[in-house]
Amino acid sequence: MADKNHFSGIDIVKFGENISIIQKRVTFENVSVLEVYERALIVFRDYYQYEIIQGADRKMMEKISEAAFRVAIYKSLSKTMLKPISEIAPYVPFGKSKTTQLLKSMEEKGVIAVEGKGRGTKYIIK
């Protein structure tokens, strides 16, 4: 959550008729996760939301659901972030000690990286 960090950020690309045509590319890096999230939403709104004027009313339209986009951004950020055991344990059907053992085994196999010791230990997928 730091204002500046080692987080590599994300790239957002708007393609043209095919993936060989890049109409817009934006990269956010070395800023806080919240800043990346907010900037990504601004880019999304520029390209995937528009208003239709019907008489005196304006109706917001979406080419892609903003809620679905938020979930996609959240998931992409969570896969690139260091996480403590307290953020991992709720998603696995084991206790904290068994989860810790499994994480150590995964580190030995090179699946995850571990940073820190004791209460400050955090894990990330390689």
Amino acid at 87: E
pLDDT, position 78: 65
SS3 57: strand
User: Helix, strand, coil proportions of the chain in percent (round to 5)?
Assistant: 40, 30, 30
Q: Distance between CA 113 and CA 102 in Å, rounded?
A: 13
Q: Distance between CA 82 and CA 123 in Å, rounded?
A: 5
Over residues 67-122, the pLDDT tens digits come to 888 877 777 666 677 888 888 877 777 778 888 888 888 888 887 888 888 888 88
The residues spanned by each domain of the chain are 1-81, 82-126
> What pTM was estimated for this model as a whole?
0.54
